[in-house]
Amino acid sequence: MDISNLIDLLYLVSIIVFIIGLKGLSHPETARKGNRVAALGMGMAIVISLFAPETSGSNNYPWIIGAMLIGGGIGFVSSKKVAMTKMPEMVSLFNGLGGACAMLIGIAEFGNLPQGTDMMSGAVLTNIFAMFVGAVSLTGSLVAYGKLNGSLRDNFTLPAPQIINLVSLVGIIALSVMIMTQPELNMALVYALLGLSLFYGIAFVTPIGGGDMPVVISLLNSVTGIGATGAGLIYGNNIMIIGGILVGASGVILTVMMCEAMNRSLVNVLIGNLGASGGGSGSGREEIVKEVNIADLAIQLKYADKVAIVPGYGLAVAQAQHICHEIEAALESEGVEVRYAIHPVAGRMPGHMNVLLAESDVDYDKLLELEPANSSFPSTDVVLVIGANDVVNPSAKDDSASPIYGMPILDVETAKNVVVFKRGMSTGYAGVQNPLFFGDKTKMLFGDAKASLGKLKDEIANA
């Protein structure tokens, strides 16, 4: 067996390891192990590539090792320093970095094309593809990052965004055709294509509202995987091609699942701009909010039979998942059945609440998905809504003027009692008021979620 066949065989082994890791990510109980296994598969691929014939004869090892040390250092520091609430932003940046790699590879390989290369060749097309996809992923991810951390407001958008996007896309196709029909490489056209592609990434993501960010993140993750596939095609590297396809395909599947969870098509997400209008018909009358004190709530919880907890982004911001788990344990010691109701798009990225609760060692069997949770609410004595807003907003069912109309929600209003933990009466990420807060069975507990839950835990112990 020659070295090339051996390298391909080892690549196949690393891909199998990577696929096993991806399979582990499909369940919260095996997600951590799956992440490590997938990282092992990618690590194997990197080491194997260093001994590939096209690498071993070069003098680029200092650059490769230096880049690995820098990238590994950034990843290690990020894993230790980045708070769970900032994880969506970090995912967006990592997506952008992956796109930047594909973009730079595309640009560099244009410069490496041999003199007299046929501009209609597959090599030129692949370079264009990698550069375009990578550029869109880079700037789109940076815009998503800005929206997630609040530096870019949802109402920051371009005039007539759909028209701009369409014109930009037509321009990208036209420039690509022009590059491939030139008698020789025209770098001015390449740079024009690069600039328009970078702009298209901005124009593509800017109109999308913050409420759709989980879908956008999974879509950009898919785009980054496709960019890696393009880079693999440039170098004829099987591991990059297959790895990129796996990431791209899994991103597409997740994007479709997220859209189904919101009862919307991908086209509607990309064009509909959920959260940018912040509208809703509203009742037009003054609503009355009822408050509850912690002592009364502690007694109510202690003597309940069934309690459901609905976590949201506010729980993540307050870093209150651990104290929430302690309250769960305290109630269960009193014979109360406690479950968590998880909406698939709660938080700022896919699976955000699952990851958050897994961090505090909540038993996965206690996590109810949308339909089982809704079936259990009518027999639930108390629902604690902690930092969630849009995913429990009844306007999604009965207000056709609301931008979240049609999105499946957690029907917490069907429970016997609802208590909402909030800092104030601000709207959710979609920018619409929540009629649940004024419901007959709803009471509000204002304040920082972590502080309120800490006081509640003490009251339960003393009640």
- Count of CB atoms within 10 A of residue 19's CB? 16
CA dist 228 and 101 (Å) reads 8
What is the signed CA dihedral for 161, 163, 166, 171, rounded to 10 degrees?
-100
CA dist 253 and 221 (Å) reads 11
CA dist 307 and 151 (Å) reads 37
The answer to whether the CB of 202 falls within 8 A of the CB of 220 is no
What is the signed CA dihedral for 417, 423, 427, 428, rounded to 10 degrees?
-80
CA dist 88 and 148 (Å) reads 7
Element (H, E) at 254: helix 238-261
Complete edge-to-edge strand list for the sheet that includes strand 442-446 = 367-368, 337-341, 306-311, 382-386, 418-422, 442-446
Tokens representing 358 are 């897994």
The answer to whether the CB of 316 falls within 8 A of the CB of 388 is no
Nearest to 144 by CA among 198, 90, 193: 90
- Number of residues that make up the chain: 463
Element (H, E) at 265: none
Tokens representing 352 are 């955000």
- Count of CB atoms within 10 A of residue 415's CB? 25
Nearest to 113 by CA among 241, 238, 240, 234: 234
Catalytic site positions? 390
End-to-end CA distance of the chain: 74
Q: List all residues 6 or more positions away from 227 whose beta carbon is below 8 Å from its beta carbon.
A: 98, 99, 101, 102, 103, 130, 133, 134, 137, 244
CA dist 199 and 95 (Å) reads 17
CA dist 183 and 185 (Å) reads 7
Element (H, E) at 346: none
Element (H, E) at 367: strand 367-368
Tokens representing 39 are 């990282």
